[in-house]
Amino acid sequence: MNVVVCVKQIPDPATPGKLDPNTKTLVREGKLILDDSDAYGVEMALQLADKAGGGEVTLVSMAPNEEVGGLRTALAMGAAKAILVSDESLKGADALTTAKVLAAAIKRAEPDLVIAATESTDGYTGTTPVQVAELLGLPAVTFAKHVEIDGSTVKVDRQTEAGYDEVECPLPALVTVTAGVVEPRYPSFKGIMAAKGKPVDTLKVGDLGIEAPAVGQQVVDVAAAEERQAGEIVVDEGDAHERVVAFLEQLKVI
Amino acid sequence: MAFDKVWVLAEVADGKPTGTTLELLTKAREIGGAVEAWTWGGEGSAVAATLGAYGATKVYDTGDLGGALPGVPVAAAMAAQVQGGNAPTAILAATSYDGRDIAGRLSAKLDVGVLTNVVGLSDDGTSEHAVFGGTTVVKAAFTGNPPYLFLVRPKSFAAEESGGGAAEVTTVEVPDAGATNAAKIVQRHVEERIGPKLDEAAVVVSGGRGLGEAEKFSMIEELAKLLKGAPGASRAIVDAGWVPYSYQVGQTGKTVKPTVYIACGISGATQHMVGMKGAKNIVAINKDQEAPIFSIADLGIVGDVHKVLPKVIEALQSRA
Ligand SMILES: Cc1cc2nc3c(=O)[nH]c(=O)nc-3n(C[C@H](O)[C@H](O)[C@H](O)COP(=O)(O)OP(=O)(O)OC[C@H]3O[C@@H](n4cnc5c(N)ncnc54)[C@H](O)[C@@H]3O)c2cc1C
Ligand SMILES: Cc1cc2nc3c(=O)[nH]c(=O)nc-3n(C[C@H](O)[C@H](O)[C@H](O)COP(=O)(O)OP(=O)(O)OC[C@H]3O[C@@H](n4cnc5c(N)ncnc54)[C@H](O)[C@@H]3O)c2cc1C
């Protein structure tokens, strides 16, 4: 079974995101890393391909400056190869533009299953994967907290407001996974060494046979959110619970 | 730019429109001329009165979806209306499971973008977005042609009745979406919850990794019960399997705005705070004085949850 995993390479979330004051698009400088959210997808894909007894896991990513930092991490986890689309014309792309590019790249790998995360850590629109599915004419099951392959059917426990739904869908299909669907492995030393030699096919938009899609939305203003002020801080000396009770009393919730 | 006609994706739970649906309808009335709602699965007639009371004049319903996940068929039905000439200026949906599925599909079908994580919307066509875990507010606008798609975060707007009569229900046809419509629900599972709903409770008591082990979550449940509130959780302990996902507060969980939010053993990651910093009052108990949660707490207790919580519980029990 061939699986494609969409992996986003993002700035380290430990350093807060910034928007360029002039272009009002995300500042993407410095090293990019594998989005944590996508580590679950990579692990899921590796486990499913393994259980199916064959097939390859291919990574697909769109990122500026031919960035491969995050791809190397996912390759070190065990993916076989990667397709990277990197093109100056994609600067400031919105989710639909991203989806068009990813869809065209995914097509090349002819997957039975496409896996993405429910949402990325930096942009978190959570719409890209479904847009990809629609552009590829694939059914999709989102918010998977458990995934199994049974012959040519994918069986998913899909998170819902009330609990979860068991959903079945014939392959080929796209599935988005939530954090916690599986526990991502740490790349081994051997894996890290092997990753250095694995193929990364770096493409421009033109190589995909599509035109640079137009972006239909624009950020017009950026401001810091209103901050809440810190209140009183009390160090517990054995009687802090009295303060909590008094506070609740004052608010008339007890 | 004013919005001539606004469509609202109306989600129904337990036979009633969700709170967010009513928030969206109220906003739609404010920014738009006509307000119309969409439902699926034949729920339209049961909720037409409530949708009307919040401003919808019309409800489009897809009828029974035969177990299909709503994303594909609902988007297909909406796209067919738009392409047939019945097009709104804007479409509002909640940042929910089905809301995102439908908006994503529709966006690709109509070749229009989606503005997401919307927390504000004005009739000049600009939207406000909470980004970077809610630390930054960005204003955005569409530059292309309508319809404009907005995915709105719950609790962004207040819901107010308009006093309108029941909306007129029209059943619309769902075009054959072929292979894309192959995902089918075979079994639903509902997780039992006692007490008020997390996103409606006046008091929310949440626990995080600082509780140390799953069994200690019972302290959170006990305190929530004593305060007639709802227990909540950080993602750390949801991922660890201590409590179901439906307890999660934050960016990928519920947005809550209770009278009091009590965070116990929660560090205060931006992704958690974006879901609770709209609370009227915040109490935090954490043993680390440097924990970010203290920066937004009205009352911060630097202490061990295992020492403080049992005493709070005991004090409340003795009052009962
Ligand atoms: C703060 C901020 C706000 C934004 N708001 C909007 C908005 O409202 N509307 C809009 O259209 N765009 C928006 N964007 C742009 C959008 O984030 C990017 O276009 C991005 O490439 C795709 O969206 P996402 O990161 O939100 O992905 P999501 O849809 O959240 O990602 C889900 C999954 O899709 C896959 N995926 C997404 N992007 C890639 C990629 N480049 N390569 C490989 N796999 C990928 C990954 O598996 C990822 O985990 C915003 C960006 C930022 C930084
Ligand atoms: C894309 C994305 C989406 C996310 N969405 C969410 C979301 O929706 N909701 C969410 O909550 N998180 C979310 N997160 C995760 C978030 O970043 C944090 O990892 C998470 O909130 C941490 O949970 P925590 O505070 O319980 O754990 P920790 O950060 O580990 O904090 C535990 C705290 O407990 C304190 N502590 C330890 N022992 C004690 C004790 N005995 N007494 C008192 N205090 C003690 C510690 O000092 C510490 O501050 C998301 C992350 C990403 C990347």
Residues B217 and B174 in one domain: no
Which residue type does B204 have? V
Residues B263 and B168 in one domain: no
Residues B226 and B105 in one domain: no
Q: Where are the domains of chain A?
A: 3-250
Which residues of chain B make contact with A124, given a CB cutoff of 8 A?
116-117, 251
Residues B37 and B162 in one domain: yes
Can you give the pLDDT at residue B131? 81
Structure token digits, residue A40: 């679950």
Pairing of strands A217-224, B136-142: antiparallel
More confident residue, A226 or B66: B66
Residues B116 and B226 in one domain: no
Which of B181, B210, B239 finishes a domain?
B181
Instruction: Report the C-alpha gap between B42 and B188 in whole angstroms.
Output: 18
Whether residue B310 has pLDDT greater than 90: yes
Total number of domains in chain B: 2
Can you give the pLDDT at residue A31? 85
Beta-bridge partners for A19: A26
Backbone angles phi, psi at B259, to 5 degrees: -65, -45
DSSP chain B: --EEEEEEE--EETTEE-HHHHHHHHHHHHHEEEEEEEE-TT-HHHHHHHHHHTT-SEEEE----TTB-SHHHHHHHHHHHHHTT---SEEEEESSHHHHHHHHHHHHHHT--EEEEEEEE-TTSEEEEEETTTTEEEEEEE-SPSPEEEEE-TTSS--------PPEEEE------GGGG--EEEEEEE----SS-TTT-SEEEEE-GGG-SGGGHHHHHHHHHHTT-EEEE-HHHHHTTSS-GGGBBSTTSB----SEEEEES----HHHHTTTTTSSEEEEEES-TT-GGGGG-SEEEES-HHHHHHHHHHHHHHH-
Determine contact, residues B276/B204, Cβ cutoff 8 Å. yes
Mean pLDDT of B203-227: 98
Can you give the pLDDT at residue A133? 98
Residues B244 and B165 in one domain: no
Is residue B142 in some structural domain? yes
Which residues 101-160 of A have a C-beta within 8 angstroms of B? Answer: 118-119, 124-131, 133-135, 137-143, 145, 158-160
User: Nearest residue of B to residue A103 by CA position?
Assistant: B108
Determine contact, residues B246/B226, Cβ cutoff 8 Å. no
CATH of the domain at B236: 3.40.50.1220
Is residue B314 in some structural domain? yes
- Tell me the ligand closest to A140's alpha carbon: 1
By residue count, chain A amounts to 254
Atom of ligand 2 nearest to the CA of A119: 1
Express each pLDDT in B136-149 by its tens digit: 889 998 888 899 99
Q: What is the mean pLDDT of chain B?
A: 95
Which residue type does A170 have? P
User: Nearest residue of B to residue A136 by CA position?
Assistant: B180
Q: Whose Cα sits closest to atom 23 in ligand 1?
A: A95
Instruction: Report the C-alpha gap between B271 and A119 in whole angstroms.
Output: 13
Residues B289 and B203 in one domain: yes
Q: Which of B115, B137, B315 has the CB atom closest to A245's CB atom?
A: B315
Contact A99 B138 (CB under 8 A): no
Can you give the pLDDT at residue B1? 53
Residues B202 and B100 in one domain: no
Can you give the pLDDT at residue A247? 97
Ligand 2 pocket, B239 CB below 6 A?
no
Instruction: Report the C-alpha gap between A100 and A98 in whole angstroms.
Output: 5
Whether residue B213 has pLDDT greater than 90: yes
Mean pLDDT of B39-50: 96
Q: Which of B138, B188, B227 has the CB atom closest to A253's CB atom?
A: B227
Indicate the burial class of A97 (C-beta count within 10 angstroms; 0-12, 13-18, 19 or more).
buried
Distance of CA B47 to the CA centre of its chain: 19
Instruction: Report the C-alpha gap between A168 and A240 in whole angstroms.
Output: 52
Distance (Å) from the alpha carbon of A40 to chain B's nearest alpha carbon? 12
Can you give the pLDDT at residue B21? 97
Which residues 200-219 of A have a C-beta within 8 angstroms of B? Answer: 214-219
Contact B190 A162 (CB under 8 A): yes
Q: Which of A16, A159, A233 has the CB atom closest to B135's CB atom?
A: A16
Instruction: Report the C-alpha gap between A225 and A248 in whole angstroms.
Output: 28
DSSP B143-163: -SPSPEEEEE-TTSS------
Is residue B187 in some structural domain? no
How large a percentage of chain B has pLDDT more than 90?
Answer: 85
How large a percentage of chain B has pLDDT more than 70?
Answer: 99
Instruction: Report the C-alpha gap between B43 and B29 in whole angstroms.
Output: 22
Is residue B188 in some structural domain? no
Instruction: Report the C-alpha gap between A237 and A235 in whole angstroms.
Output: 6
Can you give the pLDDT at residue B193? 75
Q: How far is the CA of A185 from the centre of ligand 2 (A)?
A: 21
Is residue B17 in some structural domain? yes
Is residue B189 in some structural domain? no
Is residue B186 in some structural domain? no
What CATH number does the domain located at A3-250 have? 3.40.50.620
- CA contacts within 13 A on the Cβ side of B212: 10
Which of B154, B181, B208 finishes a domain?
B181
Instruction: Report the C-alpha gap between B77 and A46 in whole angstroms.
Output: 37
Atom of ligand 2 nearest to the CA of B266: 25
Which of B149, B181, B213 finishes a domain?
B181
What domain range includes position B153? 3-181
Can you give the pLDDT at residue A28? 66
Over chain A (254 residues), the average pLDDT of each successive run of 10 is 97 78 74 94 97 94 95 98 96 93 96 97 94 98 97 96 94 95 95 97 95 79 83 96 96 91
Whether residue B160 has pLDDT greater than 60: yes
Determine contact, residues B46/B80, Cβ cutoff 8 Å. no
Mean pLDDT of B190-209: 90
Residues B32 and B120 in one domain: yes
Can you give the pLDDT at residue B171? 97
Mean pLDDT of B170-184: 96
Residues B78 and B110 in one domain: yes
Contact B180 A139 (CB under 8 A): yes
Residues B47 and B117 in one domain: yes
Whether residue B19 has pLDDT greater than 90: yes
Instruction: Report the C-alpha gap between A101 and B310 in whole angstroms.
Output: 55
User: Nearest residue of A to residue B308 by CA position?
Assistant: A241
The whole model's pTM is what?
0.92
